[in-house]
Amino acid sequence: EKTRVGFAPEAYPPFWVADANGNWTGWEVEIIDAVCAEAKLDCERVPVAWEGIIPALLGGKIDMIMNSMRINDERRKVIDFSNKYYEVPTVVVAAKSATVDTTPESMDGKIIGVQVSTGQQAYAEKNFGANASEIRGYNTQDEVYQDLAAGRIDVAIDGVVAMNEFLKSASGAECCESKGVLKRDPSTLGEGYGVGLRKGDDALKAKINDAIAAIRKNGTYDAITKKYFDFDIYGGD
Amino acid sequence: MIWSPAAGSIALLTTGGWGSAMLVGLARSLTIALGAFGLGLLIGIAGALGKLSGGAVTRQALDLYTTIVRSVPELVLILIVYFAGADLINGILTALGQAKIDFNGAIAGIVVLGVVQGAYSTEVIRGAILSVPRGQIEAAQAYGMSSWLALRRITLPAMLPFALPGLSNLWLIAMKDTALLAVLGFGELTQVTRQAAGTTKAYFTFFFAAGCMYLLATMISNLLSRRLEARATRGMAHV
Amino acid sequence: MEMLHADGIRKTFGNLEVLRGVSLTANKGDVISLIGGSGSGKSTFLRCLNCLEHPTGGEIRVDGEAIAFKPDGHGNREPASKAQMRRIRARLAMVFQSFNLWNHMTLLENVIEAPVHVLGVDRKQAVDEGLRLLERVGLYDKRDVYPAFLSGGQQQRGAIARALAVQPLAMLFDEPTSALDPELVGEVLRVIRELAEEGRTMILVTHEMSFARDVSNQVLFLHGGLVEEAGPPAEVFGNPKSERLARFLGSFH
Amino acid sequence: MEMLHADGIRKTFGNLEVLRGVSLTANKGDVISLIGGSGSGKSTFLRCLNCLEHPTGGEIRVDGEAIAFKPDGHGNREPASKAQMRRIRARLAMVFQSFNLWNHMTLLENVIEAPVHVLGVDRKQAVDEGLRLLERVGLYDKRDVYPAFLSGGQQQRGAIARALAVQPLAMLFDEPTSALDPELVGEVLRVIRELAEEGRTMILVTHEMSFARDVSNQVLFLHGGLVEEAGPPAEVFGNPKSERLARFLGSFH
Amino acid sequence: MSSAPDATACEARAGTRRRWLDAGTLTPVIAAILFGTYAALQMRWDWLETYYPLLLRGLGMTVLLVVVTSSLGMLLAIPIGLVQIVGPKWLALPARAFCTVIRGTPLLLQLWLLYYGLGSLFPQFPWIRDSALWPILRQAWPYAFLGLTLSYAAYEGEVFRGAFKGVPKGQLDAARAYGMSGLLMFRRIWLPQAFKRAMPTLAGETILQLKATPLVATITVIDVYSVAAQVRQQTYLTYEPLLLISAIYILMAVVITKVFAWLSGQGQDNTALSKS
Ligand SMILES: Nc1ncnc2c1ncn2[C@@H]1O[C@H](COP(=O)(O)OP(=O)(O)OP(=O)(O)O)[C@@H](O)[C@H]1O
Ligand SMILES: Nc1ncnc2c1ncn2[C@@H]1O[C@H](COP(=O)(O)OP(=O)(O)OP(=O)(O)O)[C@@H](O)[C@H]1O
Ligand SMILES: [Mg+2]
Ligand SMILES: [Mg+2]
């Protein structure tokens, strides 16, 4: 029996990059392959729109989610998570000219863009909701960056890795810069990124946890990471 | 990212291989549209017959179906049918002791859009059947045809000229509605376009190119349906 | 030899009693004309004969075989066996006032439709026979033309060819010329007359009194759902007994 | 007093020369009938008189004022001043074969439309006058009815009231009764006859020969775009000189 | 594809009381009651308390979108239909092309092209951000309103083209014969009659417009659908929010049908369209 791994088919470099033939490459893609191989699972990647990905898991259309999903309390109410397989700080980015930092006061009158149903969105609403003039929700992170470059939003929030990728791109380099790292907030920003699982699917959870530990130990994880990053993305224990 | 002159845009389309990826996406869109249109046609014929000659309960149930589908946005219907449809089918399969099926990809798209199309088809075909002169069907009965034979040989071909304009409209709608599947994450033309645009950052170029592809498909469809109509109405006096 | 026998046919639509017991026997070669005022039930009776309407009461026998009825659950009757009904219908060819040729088929396709798809005749054989029949009604040239491109008279002659193609035991005509322009009536009547002369069994609803007189060997005058008067044409037309018939005939002069 | 004068009107459609020089003079109180076979150009001539068609050649004078033309750049002419054309049109009231009442307006609204919106008459005054005219053509009761609910004869009488409402210098009738069922022709002709009798200037295209003979003081017979014969009705009808006219009149008996 | 508003309205008027619970409505009513009971008992609705203000706001946006874009679209549709009949080539051809292009491509794509496609061009024209229009251009709603308006204009423009063409020539001849100028004729005769011809399609087209509104959610406009989507994402309820807004859309469709039936009843008891 196949294990269906749900992911949102959208560009999120360097974790998810599509080529024209519909092949996906990227750090997370390789980690999926490594985990599945280690756990001896016959995995199949199934594209599901991000906003429907948890319902799809609950409805049995997929068996697990590996899509840079933050492990946080809100989600824990409905689904289960494996141990984290990476963790990076979350940063605030804005136009170079903007005077913005990570404090609520600096968000006064700003339009903040976040991808919907993400930890960033939860964080922004909890901490900046009172100050920002608007928190605009996008269906994909890519669209957030588009509108940041277009100048339609003032501030974006995302994990530092994907954010750096954007800042390296032509449009990102031209317009924007990082304005600081958000403090750790497990209830929204979570405790790292993990595999989303149906509650009660403990056998699968055990397998995945073992596989993550195993590839960390046998060097596979580091080998993959080295191809994409010059630091340890696992982010400490 | 730079507002590229036409030549640059075309280069973008051809070099990264995204152009051909979009063609593949178009082919998938057309396949799904064709499947949905066909399924809708079957539902439409059955629905029309049910409305015209079914019992009171059948008729009202069908009315409910067409009313709901024709007033709830496709986007919402697609989500409902996608989730509920799969639950329903798998529920039935489990009850029958069968294995669950994968309600994903093209099949889901076809079923989802087909259910939507079916409601519109029902109305189009019902109207067309009502336009067939009563005598045509009576003559079929008078020559001993069974209802099934009369349906196949007389009613359906005779209503075709009346149904075709509506049906070709539905086909165009089916084609365009496949774009909505992008919201479910399906890999058809619109979804591929979104990926291409996201990857290359040439949003304008790719959305524009996709628009041209849909437009071309529409115009070719128009041409074909005009021919089909001419053929179907060849038995009608041209005034 | 008795081909078609109807006994005490009754028919009600809702509260309206349209036929109140009409009987008729057609032996082989008989040409029976039904005449009567508008609404007297002529069409309804003809349609009962091949069960296009299900008679509320009475019996129908075709070529010795009685049509079996059963209650339809709405206080009326319906044929007990659809298969039997269809088999019998196919051999009682009907010609309609409004022709009712199938518009999406050419003339030839119209003619071979019932033989091929209902009677299961081999297609090639049906085409040969169909062409012969079209020749016979003078429409060989028009075999590949669609009905909409034919005059009313041509359409009705085509409809007669379609009827002949099922080799009917009896032919039922419901006012075959009353939808035609006056100048086209003649060509249709000519064909019907020829059929009568070659000994076909026919039941004919018509308002063409002189034609009915000429061509039939029996005339039934219907009034208010009953046979008011019946007999050979010379008698019915020449010497009407009932005042109603006399008045009816008078309205034609 | 000359009301309407047309001199040598010519009109070509593409290559088709429909009018090849038709002239006519209507003095106050004249009733002129145009007769002729189908396609002879009667309607075209009438429509040229109020510039619904732009004549290719010739001159038109209404109440002494000549309509000015200029080339339209397509080898034809058009009125030089639209304002002049509209002013003149408004006073040459036309009554059409197919009535052409505006079907989104009640009868009264139809009648007051041109006075109020074209001639700038005060609305209240237009209504009073409109009601009087509807009374006159026997349609006072129908004032608030929409045209679709009127018989053809009533519609045409309504159209005549609409024409009268602009206090026309001359009235142009294009076969006002030929779209009517025979039993409705009379009521319309009666109204037109009354108008003739009260001295209105009228140009009338008609196929009602006896009416034309009765009502008009001049008759023009058009053939092939030319006036083949003209004169007082007694002469034209009683003693046709050209063989064509004789044949044309013959076809009415 | 449009429903027949007049017929339903007449029926409804004719027998409101009688029709209440006769056989004609029994099945739907029973279905609604059964389903309603099931939904009330077996589904979760506690989230309504939190989200109803948002839902109302979204509903407001949806209603605004339908009303404004249909009205503006209609105003555009009239000239678009008209120039295809009487306009010079240089107007008729673009109008024709506009209808073909809009009707031939998915609205979703049009919205994306308008919003993200144009947005991707902004960085090359920095002055845009300094222009007075910028506060509007940076919002999402203008693109939504524009996209939906153009869409309605194209579909209804096609209807108006037919409607203008369908007005019998004699009607216009009569107008000319009584000295009306082109503009007066258009205003008093041609437009009112074309409008009457187009009227029966309006209810259907407007319902289609209603059904198109959720697409604006994909460009971050918050309509009632996007609120439901948000509820879905935050509560992980699969069906409840979808069912609720389905009911809302059905209700709105009924209202649209009724409004147009009433409108056409106002202006139309008079008008069997003339046979000509
Ligand atoms: N399907 C029906 N439902 C109800 N009443 C019917 C139906 N068919 C016929 N009738 C009624 O039955 C009566 C007889 O009709 P029928 O058509 O048999 O008359 P007919 O003698 O053929 O008249 P005609 O010369 O006008 O054709 C009429 O009053 C008619 O209205
Ligand atoms: N707009 C037009 N374009 C081209 N040909 C036209 C046009 N109007 C009229 N004609 C042609 O001009 C000729 C004269 O037409 P007209 O309508 O004036 O005839 P008529 O005498 O009124 O005939 P009728 O008695 O049938 O009304 C006909 O051959 C007609 O086909
Ligand atoms: Mg009859
Ligand atoms: Mg004429």
Residue D148: helix, strand or coil by DSSP? helix
D touches A, CB cut-off 8 Å, minimum 3 pairs: no
- The domain spans of chain B are 32-184
Give me the helices (H) in A80-138, please.
119-127
Query: Exposed, middle or buried: residue B3 (CB in 10 Å: 0-12, 13-18, 19+)?
Result: middle
Backbone angles phi, psi at A157, to 5 degrees: -125, 135
Rounded mean pLDDT, D204-216? 92
- Do A81 and A196 meet the contact criterion of CB atoms below 8 Å apart? yes
Q: Distance between CA B204 and CA B198 in Å, rounded?
A: 11
CB atoms within 10 A of CB E126: 9
- Do C187 and C153 meet the contact criterion of CB atoms below 8 Å apart? yes
pLDDT of residue E121: 85
Q: Closest-lying ligand to the alpha carbon of D174? A: 4
Residue ranges of domains in chain E, CATH in brackets? 1-42 (no CATH), 47-275 (1.10.3720.10)
CB atoms within 10 A of CB E250: 15
pLDDT of residue E269: 46
Q: Distance between CA E118 and CA C110 in Å, rounded?
A: 60
Q: Domain spanning B32-184: which superfamily?
A: MetI-like (1.10.3720.10)
| Residue of D65, D70, D53 whose CA lies nearest to D9 | D53
pLDDT at B122 > cutoff 50: yes
Q: Distance between CA A11 and CA D78 in Å, rounded?
A: 66
pLDDT at E276 > cutoff 80: no
pLDDT of residue D204: 95
From residue D60, alpha-carbon distances to A218, D5, D9, D24, D70 in Å are 106, 6, 8, 10, 13
- Do C4 and C94 meet the contact criterion of CB atoms below 8 Å apart? no
Task: Calculate how far, in angstroms, residue E86's C-alpha sits from the geometric centre of ligand 2.
Answer: 23
Contact of E124 with chain B, judged by CB distance below 8 Å, is answered with yes
Position B168, amino acid: S
> Where is average pLDDT lowest: A125-134, D197-206, E196-205?
E196-205
pLDDT at B98 > cutoff 80: no
From residue A190, alpha-carbon distances to A89, A135, C228 in Å are 10, 20, 98
**Residue among D52, D101, D148 whose CB faces E177 most closely:** D52
Spatial neighbors of B113 by CB under 8 A, at least 6 apart, are B32, B33, B36, B39, B40, B78, B174, B177, B178, B181
Which pair of tokens denotes residue A81? 């998570």
- Do A51 and A114 meet the contact criterion of CB atoms below 8 Å apart? no
User: Are E214 and B75 within 8 A, CB to CB?
Assistant: yes
pLDDT at E151 > cutoff 80: yes
Rounded mean pLDDT, D23-38? 93
**Helix C152-164 vs helix C107-117: angle between axes, to the nearest 10 degrees?**
20
Q: Distance between CA B192 and CA B23 in Å, rounded?
A: 9
Strand partners, C96: C99
B touches A, CB cut-off 8 Å, minimum 3 pairs: yes
DSSP character for A111? E
Categorize the per-residue pLDDT at B19 as very low, low, confident or very high, splitting at 50, 70 and 90.
confident
**N residues, chain E:** 276
Categorize the per-residue pLDDT at E122 as very low, low, confident or very high, splitting at 50, 70 and 90.
confident
Spatial neighbors of A19 by CB under 8 A, at least 6 apart, are A25, B17, B199
- Do A117 and A55 meet the contact criterion of CB atoms below 8 Å apart? no
pLDDT of residue E174: 94
pLDDT of residue B56: 85
pLDDT of residue E24: 55
- Do C206 and C176 meet the contact criterion of CB atoms below 8 Å apart? yes
- Do B79 and E231 meet the contact criterion of CB atoms below 8 Å apart? no
Q: Is C218 in the pocket of ligand 1 (CB under 6 A)?
A: no
Q: Distance between CA C226 and CA C41 in Å, rounded?
A: 8
C124-171 confidence digits (pLDDT tens) = 999 999 999 999 999 999 999 999 999 999 999 999 999 999 999 999
pLDDT at A110 > cutoff 80: yes
From residue A8, alpha-carbon distances to A46, A79, A142 in Å are 8, 17, 12
pLDDT at E142 > cutoff 70: yes
Q: Distance between CA E33 and CA C95 in Å, rounded?
A: 52
Tokens 């700003």 label which residue? A110
Of all residues in chain B, what percent carry a pLDDT higher than 90? Answer: 49
Query: Exposed, middle or buried: residue E99 (CB in 10 Å: 0-12, 13-18, 19+)?
Result: buried
Which pair of tokens denotes residue B190? 């619109």
Q: Distance between CA C184 and CA C162 in Å, rounded?
A: 19
Backbone angles phi, psi at D55, to 5 degrees: -65, 140
From residue B147, alpha-carbon distances to B153, C93, E130 in Å are 10, 18, 72
pLDDT of residue B104: 65
Query: Exposed, middle or buried: residue B125 (CB in 10 Å: 0-12, 13-18, 19+)?
Result: buried
Categorize the per-residue pLDDT at E272 as very low, low, confident or very high, splitting at 50, 70 and 90.
very low
pLDDT of residue C42: 94
Q: Is D199 left (phi over 0), alpha (psi -120 to 50) or beta?
A: left
Neighbours of chain A (3+ CB pairs under 8 A): B, E
Q: Which residues of B touch A5 (CB under 8 A)?
A: none
C70-120 confidence digits (pLDDT tens) = 988 887 899 999 999 999 998 899 999 999 999 999 999 999 999 999 999
pLDDT of residue E13: 39
Of all residues in chain A, what percent carry a pLDDT higher than 90? Answer: 59
B29-46 confidence digits (pLDDT tens) = 999 999 999 999 999 999
Contact of E206 with chain B, judged by CB distance below 8 Å, is answered with no
Complex ipTM over 0.90: no
Q: Distance between CA B201 and CA B206 in Å, rounded?
A: 9
Query: Dihedral sign, CA of C33, C38, C42, C43?
Result: positive
Rounded mean pLDDT, E134-141? 91
Categorize the per-residue pLDDT at C253 as very low, low, confident or very high, splitting at 50, 70 and 90.
low
Backbone angles phi, psi at E105, to 5 degrees: -130, 155
Q: Among the atoms of ligand 2, which is closest to the Cα of residue D45?
A: 18
Q: Among the atoms of ligand 2, which is closest to the Cα of residue D225?
A: 14
Q: Which residues of E touch A174 (CB under 8 A)?
A: 123
DSSP H or E stretch at residue D114: helix D107-117
Q: Is D15 in the pocket of ligand 2 (CB under 6 A)?
A: no
Q: How many helices (H) and strands (E) does chain D have?
A: 9, 12
Tokens 């649209």 label which residue? E256
Spatial neighbors of C37 by CB under 8 A, at least 6 apart, are C223, C248
C163-173 confidence digits (pLDDT tens) = 999 999 999 99
pLDDT at B237 > cutoff 70: no
Spatial neighbors of A125 by CB under 8 A, at least 6 apart, are A135
Q: Is C36 in the pocket of ligand 1 (CB under 6 A)?
A: yes
Give me the helices (H) in chain A, please.
27-38, 53-58, 73-76, 119-127, 141-150, 160-168, 170-175, 202-218, 220-228
Q: What is the mean pLDDT of chain D?
A: 93
Fold of the domain spanning C2-250: Rossmann fold (3.40.50)
Residue A103: helix, strand or coil by DSSP? coil
Q: Distance between CA B114 and CA D209 in Å, rounded?
A: 67
pLDDT at E123 > cutoff 70: yes
pLDDT at E273 > cutoff 50: no
Rounded mean pLDDT, E210-223? 94
pLDDT of residue D193: 94
- The domain spans of chain C are 2-250
Q: Distance between CA D108 and CA E215 in Å, rounded?
A: 49
| Residue of C96, C1, C4 whose CA lies nearest to C49 | C4
Of all residues in chain B, what percent carry a pLDDT higher than 70? Answer: 89
pLDDT of residue E267: 53
pLDDT of residue E18: 43
Give me the helices (H) in chain B, please.
6-15, 18-53, 56-71, 74-80, 86-95, 105-131, 134-142, 147-150, 156-177, 189-200, 203-232
> Where is average pLDDT lowest: A134-138, C187-191, D182-186?
D182-186
pTM greater than the 0.80 cutoff: yes
Which pair of tokens denotes residue B173? 């709608």
User: Are A60 and B192 within 8 A, CB to CB?
Assistant: no
Categorize the per-residue pLDDT at E29 as very low, low, confident or very high, splitting at 50, 70 and 90.
confident
**Residue among D87, D91, D148 whose CB faces E271 most closely:** D148
Spatial neighbors of A127 by CB under 8 A, at least 6 apart, are A104, A185
Q: Distance between CA C162 and CA A153 in Å, rounded?
A: 76
User: Are C100 and B157 within 8 A, CB to CB?
Assistant: no
Rounded mean pLDDT, C214-241? 93
- Do A70 and A161 meet the contact criterion of CB atoms below 8 Å apart? no
Contact of E198 with chain D, judged by CB distance below 8 Å, is answered with no
**Residue among E177, E193, E275 whose CB faces D104 most closely:** E193
